[in-house]
Structure 1
């Protein structure tokens, strides 16, 4: 596996293969890799002739009060995992490479990014769109793979690519879960043993919404009330510490709906201890 550190190396690696008529899959990450990330690498290898991963903890998608300094960094372990998966190359840019002195251009956020995370984390998606477009320019791959656990992020990137005519195909990967149902996340390592148990309330709430849908419940307010009830726990079981949202929306636009209709998705963002977790489930 080649380690690429400069924009010139990254661009040349991809273009040499593109000029041979070969496909290249890009898997952008912030490192601290788990099986969810590696499933995206596997999907890229199944889809494309070559796969390039990136590892860059992007500062512009963190607000001043968020966990940039604490975000886990496990570079050597990550590179070892990528190499075992058969990744052809990994791009490891420095901060000053991506954001040189005087950097001032940011990419606007499409409409689908202005609700939910766009309200709770107002600067987040501008950082995401900016770094992803920069990576697409530096590594002009034929395909890019993003996980569906960050569902709104996936929709934001799809919209950006469509709106700005970026010549790349976005490939969604499935959410990967622990055996007990917890969605894999780099932030799971922050959880204490007790918090880890409470984190299961996110998947439990989504499961409950799915069960209600299968039983014929179509009222979004009823589904959302039940998800919040599960998240808040009971006299016997402690709940999450804070709910940013537990909602059911249109799966394409992420706009609010009153009655369940296809396609629809349930999304949750909640704090367990100091750790903010997100999860989702397609309902129709």
Structure 2
């Protein structure tokens, strides 16, 4: 069942109550990492909604938005195989109607790292997530730990705004060579894909405290640039966090120290 409007979505959810409802927010181009979130939601909730919406307000680069993969038909087939109860795939004008003028902004945890390199990104994330929670009226929401800073931003906004939803973080899924699963990986050329696992190996070096060596290894592997490679305390947990560009594709990752 693919739903396009908020009114249809709310009608379906109202018919499910008092069932426990879980939501997995995505931008589509689904892979096994997304499906692991769906399975976690299925294990804990009576009904599961997956949202598919390429959110324009979280892209600070128009080219990145234009190039983001859109694969709704194959996504729907994957989700049908997982037994998802509903897909909510609204059009942009349904989410941001004419005259829309509200932004949710989370200070502090949103400001370094991704926040510093992508101005406005987390405002877009916080706004659309808040809206999706209100639209779905879900009891639990599932996010991957690959986007660790995003997960901490969402947890902060839910706590600060007293939103009646539980945020569940799920472990990053990786390819056999260590590369974190990501929709952006599909944009890598075969040659770049072979170089990409250097990011995972460099994080392992960074965990030992040798950040200079870790940065050197990323660049030596063929990455064009590094936005950041740092050990930071976000959400009360120390993590290595990295963002680097390879083959024109910006990849992010993290791991616990």
**Fold agreement, TM-score > 0.5:** yes
Q: Which residue pairs with 1:148 in the alignment?
A: 145
**SS of residue matched to 2:109:** helix
Q: How much does 1:194 deviate? A: 1.5
Q: Which residue pairs with 1:259 in the alignment?
A: none
Residue among 108, 111, 129 paired with 2:105? 108
Q: Which residue pairs with 1:247 in the alignment?
A: 230
CA RMSD of aligned residues (A): 1.2
Larger radius of gyration: 1
Q: How much does 1:11 deviate? A: 1.4
Residue among 187, 192, 213 paired with 1:226? 213
Q: Does 1:186 align with 2:183?
A: yes
Q: Do 1:118 and 1:124's aligned partners in 2 also have CA atoms closer than 8 Å?
A: yes
**SS of residue matched to 1:72:** coil
Q: Which residue pairs with 2:25 in the alignment?
A: 28
**SS of residue matched to 2:210:** helix
Q: Which residue pairs with 2:171 in the alignment?
A: 174
Q: Do 1:15 and 1:140's aligned partners in 2 also have CA atoms closer than 8 Å?
A: no
Structure 2 Cα separation of the partners of residues 129 and 61 of structure 1? 9
Q: Do 1:223 and 1:248's aligned partners in 2 also have CA atoms closer than 8 Å?
A: no
Q: Does 1:277 align with 2:255?
A: no
Q: Which residue pairs with 1:219 in the alignment?
A: none
Q: Which residue pairs with 2:240 in the alignment?
A: 266
Q: Does 1:9 align with 2:3?
A: no
Q: Does 1:79 align with 2:84?
A: no
Q: Do 2:144 and 2:170's aligned partners in 1 also have CA atoms closer than 8 Å?
A: yes
Q: Do 2:106 and 2:156's aligned partners in 1 also have CA atoms closer than 8 Å?
A: no
Q: Does 1:47 align with 2:44?
A: yes
Q: How much does 1:65 deviate? A: 4.2
Q: Do 2:226 and 2:245's aligned partners in 1 also have CA atoms closer than 8 Å?
A: yes
Q: Which residue pairs with 1:119 in the alignment?
A: 116
In structure 1, runs of 5+ residues without a counterpart are 213-221, 254-262
Q: How much does 1:264 deviate? A: 1.1
Q: CA-to-partner distance for each residue in 1:214-261, whole Å, 9 max, x for gaps?
A: xxxxxxxx432232122122xxxx3311000000011325xxxxxxxx
Q: How much does 1:102 deviate? A: 1.1
In structure 2, runs of 5+ residues without a counterpart are none
Q: How much does 1:17 deviate? A: 2.2
Q: How much does 1:134 deviate? A: 0.5
Structure 1 Cα separation of the partners of residues 111 and 194 of structure 2? 31
**SS of residue matched to 2:179:** coil
Structure 1 Cα separation of the partners of residues 63 and 211 of structure 2? 27
Structure 2 Cα separation of the partners of residues 67 and 229 of structure 1? 26
Q: Do 2:205 and 2:211's aligned partners in 1 also have CA atoms closer than 8 Å?
A: no
Normalising by the residue count of structure 1, what TM-score does the alignment of the two structures yield?
Answer: 0.88
